[in-house]
Amino acid sequence: MRVALLAPIAWRTPPRHYGPWELVVSMLCEGLVERGVDVTLFATADSVTRARLEAVCPCPYEECPELDAKVWECLHVAHAFEQAHRFDLLHNHYDFLPLTYSRLVATPMLTTIHGFSSPRILPVYRAYADRCHYVSISNADRSPELPYLATVYHGIELDDFPLQSGPGDYLLYYGRIHPDKGTEDALRIARAFGMRLVVAGIIQDAAYFHERVEPLLEPGKAEYIGSVGGPRRAQVLGGAYALLHPIHFEEPFGLSVVEAMACGTPVVAYRRGAMPEVIADGETGFLVEGEAEALEALGKVGRLRRTTCRKWVEGRFSRQRMVDDYLEVYRRVLDGGQ
C-alpha cells in the first residue's frame, strides 16, 4: 500500500512545541512505517520522519514571518496532487483546500476533519462529499450535513507520557491562550481553590492575554511559563494535581487532556464538545458546567486513582490503536468505501 500523508505546514512535523495537527500526522506516519506501509509525508522541509519526505515549503510559516501562508499552502497542496498517480491513497490532514483538487486526480482521497473553524467552510465539504471520504476525530464533532466513513480518535505515544504516581501541588492550564480555551476561567478557579496555577501554551490572542490574563498572574500563585514541548511537556502535565480545561467552544478532541491523563493527572473540564468522549466522568476527572462546579470537583480530585487515568488512555487513546483504526479505514476506502 502506497500512502501519501498531507500534513499542515503551519508548524514542523512533528512540532517543536505547539502544533496538534502536525503531531497527530507525525504519530500516524511513523506508526504506518513501522507496519511496513510505503508512506510519503508531504510537510515542511525541516520535518523529521522515517518515511519519504516531500517538501517545497522550507520551514513552518508560523515560525518564518517572511513566508506568505496562502502562497506556500497553494504550492504545498499542488506539489502533493501533482504526484497523486504515485499513490494508492491520499490522506489529507490539511482541512478543506485539498478537497478542491480531488476531482483532478484518480487517486482516492481520505480527509481527517480536525475540526470546523467556522460553519462557512461547510460548503466545500458538502461539494466534494461524493468524491472524498471523511473521518471525524470525535462523534461530537460530526456535522449532520456530511457523510462519514468512521470516527478515529487521536492516539498518543504512551512512552512519551510516563505515569507519575503522586499528585503534584499545583493546578495546570495547558493550551492556547484564547477566550475559547477559558484561560481566564482557569485563573479564577485556581484562585478560589487556593492552589497555585501554572499556565502553559502559546499566546494566540495577544489582546486577551494582556487585558484579561496577565492582570491575574502573580508570582507564586499564578505563573505563565510559555509554550512547553519535548520531555518537559510530560513533566509539567504529570506534576500537576489536576488539569483545568474550562473550554468555551465545542472542542473537537483535546490532546492535552489525553496527555495529562496518560501521566496520571485527572482533568476538570467544562462539558463541551468531545469532553464526554475523552474523559470518564468521576473516574479520570470531572465534567462540570461552570466555575462553581469546577471548584467543587477539585475538592474530589484526591479520590481519583492516577493509575485509572493511565489505564483509560492505554485502552482508548494509544498511537497503536489509532494506526490500527486508520489501516482499517484505508482498506475500506480501497475497497470502494464499503
DSSP label of 144: T
Task: Give the total residue count for the chain.
Answer: 338
**pLDDT (tens place) for every residue of the chain, 338 residues total:** 999 999 999 999 999 988 899 999 999 999 999 999 999 999 999 999 999 999 999 999 999 999 999 999 999 999 999 999 999 999 999 999 999 999 999 999 999 999 998 899 999 999 999 999 999 999 999 999 999 999 999 999 999 999 998 889 999 999 999 999 999 999 999 999 999 999 999 999 999 999 999 999 999 999 999 999 888 999 999 999 999 999 999 999 999 999 999 999 999 999 999 999 999 999 999 999 999 999 999 999 999 999 999 999 999 999 999 999 999 999 999 998 65
Same domain? 91 vs 136: yes
Same domain? 287 vs 165: yes
Same domain? 178 vs 308: yes
Same domain? 117 vs 165: no
Query: How much is the pLDDT for 43?
Result: 98
Same domain? 218 vs 322: no
DSSP label of 82: T
Same domain? 191 vs 130: no
Rounded to 10 degrees, what is the CA torsion of 16, 141, 249, 309?
A: -60
Residue 150 structural domain: 2-155+318-334
Query: How much is the pLDDT for 18?
Result: 87
Same domain? 151 vs 162: no
* 244, 268 contact by CB (below 8 A): yes
Same domain? 202 vs 219: yes
Q: How far apart are CA 139 and CA 284, in angstroms?
A: 20
Domain count for the chain: 2
Cell numbers at residue 157, please? Answer: 505515544
Torsion over CA: 129, 135, 137, 143 (sign): positive
Torsion angles phi and psi, residue 325, rounded to 5: -65, -40
Same domain? 167 vs 220: yes
Please list the residues that pair with 242 across neighbouring strands.
Answer: 171
Same domain? 71 vs 199: no
Same domain? 81 vs 38: yes
Phi-psi region of 48 (alpha: psi -120 to 50; beta: other; left: phi over 0): beta
Same domain? 227 vs 259: yes
Q: How far apart are CA 290 and CA 79, in angstroms?
A: 46
Q: Could you report how far apart the first and last alpha carbons of the chain are, in Å? A: 18
CATH number of the domain encompassing residue 257: 3.40.50.2000
